[in-house]
Amino acid sequence: MFNHKHLLWSLAILPLLAACSADDPGKGGGNNGDDAAREGVYMTVNINPNGKLTRSQTDGDNSSDAGTEIGSNLENRVKTVLIVLADPTTNGYIASSLIKAADGPSNPLPDMTVDGEKVYQAHAKFSKTAMSAYYGLYDEEGVERSVDVYVYCNPMQSLVDAFDALDPTDADWVNWSYDGTGSNSLSELWSTENGFIMTNVSKAKRYLPANMDDWSFYSSESSPFDLSGINNPGLLSQVDNSSDNGGGTIEVRRMAARFDFRDGSQMNVPNGNGAPGVPFTYNTILDDHSNPIVQLEIVNMSLVNLLNSEYYLGRVSANGMETNAQLLGYERKWTFNSNGTPVAGSGNFVVSRYADKKGTGDGINSNYTTYFKYPFFGPDNKVQIGMDENGTNWDVKYVSDLCKEGNPMDDYNETSDYYVWRYVTENTIPAPGGDYNLQNNGQTTGVVFKAKMKGTADLRNSSDPWDQKLYTALSTKTGVNNFKADILYSFAGKKLYCTWHHVQNAALQAAGFNPNAETQNLDRSASLYMACFGAGGFGTVDYTYIENGAVVTKTFTDDLAVDETSANSAWVAWNAAGFPESGALLQQFRQKVTGATFTIYQGSEDPKSGWGYYCYYYYWNHHNDNLNNTVLGPMEVAVVRNNVYKLAVTRLNVLGHPRIPENDPDTPTPDNPDEKGDLYLQVSVKVAPWVVRLNNIEF
C-alpha cells in the first residue's frame, strides 16, 4: 500500500481517461513517451466555495442535526486538482491529470464569475495514449464507455508522483493512505498555504464518447468535453453527463476534521456552574451554605490520541472493520429501540485506519507511538501526565491565548463565538460483534483539560482554621517541592482537605467526635472514617477546632487498636520516616490512600499559570449521540473527516484527576501518449460546508 501524508466539496466532474503530472502533463501512468507522444486531452475545472447545544447526532447521509458551517477562505481554497480515472468495475487505474494555477503554487486557481458566483478555473491535459489504451480494453466499438472519476484537491506532490508512476489496471490505489510518521507531517493534510486535501464523498460514474474517434469533437480548448453536462446534444455522438442522467456535481470533502472551542463557563445553559464574569472558571466546591469556596479555572487543553494515518478515500462498513467495507459510502443514521439499544443494520460505521488493530480491543495497547501522535498512554499503559506535566509531548494550547480578539473564529451563525483551535485526522472505533466498548481511552481521540484550583473570598474569610489553611495553600507557594508543600486530598470529588491532619479531623467529625466529651460514642461505620482509619481506632491524632472563638488543638488517643492496613497507618509510617520522596513507604502510602478512594493532589509549577494545584479532565470526542450518557452506542465516540466539533465545557461538577497517575484512585487504562491533437474536458468543483457538531461537555 502506498502510504501518504478533510472539508466537504462538491465537484461537477465527468469521467476522464488520461494521466498527467505537474511536471509532465501529458504523461500517462507508467508510459514514458517523448514530447510528441504526450499530446493529450485538456480539462477545465470550475470551483465554487459556497456557502443545538448538547451533543450532536448523525442526521441523514454524512450530516448532523447541528447543521453546517461555510468555512473560511483558507479552508475553501483550491490551488490544484488531481483528477483520477478508474474502471468502474475493478477500480483499475486508467489515468490521472493535474490542474494547477498558471502563476505558480503560491496562488489559488484563477477565478471568474459564473451565474453571479465566484468560481475557480484552470486546465489540465490528459494523455490520448492512455485513453486509447482504455478503449482497447473493450471487445468492440460503439459500446457505452464509463469511468469512475476521483478528485483530489490540493494534493501534495508525492501523491501526484505516485499516480504518475502507477501501472494501468492497478486497483490497490483506492486503499492508499497518508502516513504522518517519520519526516511526514500531518499538517500537510490541512496546510493553509497549500490548501486542504479534499477527496470524493461518493463514487462518481461519468460517461465518455462511445468511440475514440468521437474525441475529435473536443479538439480545442474552446470546446472542451463537458464532464458535468450534455455533449453534442441531439447527435448520435451525444454524451449526457448532466445531473438528470446521474452526473453533474461531484462532492468532495476535506480529509481533516476541525476542533473549535469557546468559554463554556459563561454560556447560559441549564445546570452550568460557571463563575459569572470570570472567564473559564467554575464554582466547583461549595460550603455548607452553598457558597463557592474552591473554583476551578481551565488554563489549557491538550489533544491526545491523534491518529497518524488516514485513508485518502473514505469508506464505511457494517461494523467499522475493513472487511466488506464500501468505498466512498455514506455514513447512515442509527435508530434506537425504546430501551436505547441500536436497531441492527439501521446505521453503519465510518472505517478509519488501523481498524483491524482497534477491532481486537488490545492491538494498539503498549504500542501507542506506532499509531498516534500525542498518545495518551505510555508503553506501560499508564497515563503520561505524570511524566509530562507541562505537556511537552502533547499539543498544548492555553485557552487565554486561543480565545482572544484577533484569533480565527467560526462562522457557524451570527451569535456563535467559538474559536478555531486545530485540525485533526479521522479516527473511528469499530464494533465487531456489537462491542461498542472498544471505544476506549487507548484508541479514541480526546482532549485533556487542565484546571487550576483557586480559593474564593468565602474561603479566605471563613472562620474555620482548615478553610484558612486551604486558602493559604491554594494562594501561596509553600515548600520547595511537591512533598514539602502541603498535600491536598479529596474524597468523592466534592470535598478538599489540606494535609492528612485535615483528613483525620474531618473523619473524626464525620464519626461524631466531640473534643469536650470524656467518653466518645463514635459511628465508626461513617464512610469518611472508614476510608481514613479502616476498621480500627484512630490512634493518636491532633484535633483542631474552635472553642470560645479561639483555635484550639488538642491531642487525643484512641483505646481501640488501630487498623494496620488502613490509609491512616500508611500515612503514619511515611510520616515517621520523614516523608521520603521515594521507596516502599511512599508507594505504600499512595496505594493505601488511593485504595481508600482518596485523590492526592500535589502542587506543581505550570510554565504559564505558575505555582498551584492542578487537576485534569479527560474528554473523548463525541460524534454521534445515542441519547444515553452512560452507555456507548455505535459511532458515538469518534472523529470523522469534514466535521467541525465545537467544544464548550459548561460545568465542572467535581474535582478532576491528579497530574500524577499514582495519586489517582480512578486512573484511566487502555483497553500515464502517442497521438497528435489535443482533446479538452471540462469539470466543475464546488466546495460544500463543513458538517457541524456541537458538544457541550459536563464533568
DSSP string, 360-389: TSSSSTT-HHHHEES-SB-TTSSBSTTT-T
Same domain? 102 vs 198: yes
Distance of CA 426 to the CA centre of its chain: 7
**Residue 72, burial from CB neighbour count under 10 angstroms (0-12, 13-18, 19+):** middle
The pLDDT assigned to 123 comes to 59
Same domain? 15 vs 130: yes
Bridge partner list, 117: 114
The pLDDT assigned to 11 comes to 34
Same domain? 597 vs 680: no
Domain membership of residue 143 (yes or no) is yes
At 569 the three-state DSSP class reads helix
Domain membership of residue 316 (yes or no) is no
Same domain? 595 vs 679: no
The pLDDT assigned to 467 comes to 96
Same domain? 575 vs 679: no
The pLDDT assigned to 699 comes to 55
Same domain? 74 vs 196: yes
Domain membership of residue 456 (yes or no) is no
Domain membership of residue 174 (yes or no) is yes
Give the three cell numbers for residue 460. Answer: 479566605
Domain membership of residue 430 (yes or no) is no
Same domain? 560 vs 684: no
The pLDDT assigned to 112 comes to 52
CA geometry: angle 172, 326, 360, nearest 5 deg: 85
Same domain? 679 vs 569: no
**Residue 213, burial from CB neighbour count under 10 angstroms (0-12, 13-18, 19+):** exposed
Give the three cell numbers for residue 63. Answer: 450530516
Same domain? 564 vs 682: no
Give the three cell numbers for residue 635. Answer: 459511532
Query: What is the tally of structural domains in the chain?
Result: 2
Domain membership of residue 609 (yes or no) is no
Of 601, 633, 651, the one marking the end of a domain is 601
Domain membership of residue 610 (yes or no) is no
Nearest-angstrom CA–CA distance, 510 and 528: 7
Nearest-angstrom CA–CA distance, 313 and 171: 13
**Residue 277, burial from CB neighbour count under 10 angstroms (0-12, 13-18, 19+):** exposed
Q: Which residue has the cell 466539533?
A: 645
In 3D space, the residue among 543, 601, 595 whose CA is nearest the CA of residue 569 turns out to be: 595
Of 579, 601, 623, the one marking the end of a domain is 601
Q: Which residue has the cell 487537576?
A: 615
Nearest-angstrom CA–CA distance, 616 and 177: 34
The 10 Å Cβ neighbour count of residue 380 is 10
Of 565, 580, 601, the one marking the end of a domain is 601
* Interacting residues of 376 by C-beta distance below 8 A, sequence separation 6+: 304, 305, 368, 383, 384, 441, 442, 446, 448, 618, 668
Q: Are 643 and 66 within 8 A, CB to CB?
A: no
Measured between alpha carbons, how far is residue 431 from residues 41, 320, 335, 394, 428 in Å? 46, 6, 16, 28, 10
Cα atoms in the 13 Å half-sphere on the side-chain side of 676: 1
Range of the domain at 241: 7-51+67-255+675-688
At 133 the three-state DSSP class reads helix
pTM as predicted = 0.87
DSSP 55: B
Same domain? 17 vs 156: yes
Identify each DSSP E strand in 467-558 by its residue range: 488-491, 495-498, 540-547, 550-557
Domain membership of residue 296 (yes or no) is no
Which stretches of the chain drop beneath a pLDDT of 70?
1-56, 60, 64-66, 101-125, 138-143, 220-221, 387-392, 479-482, 672-699
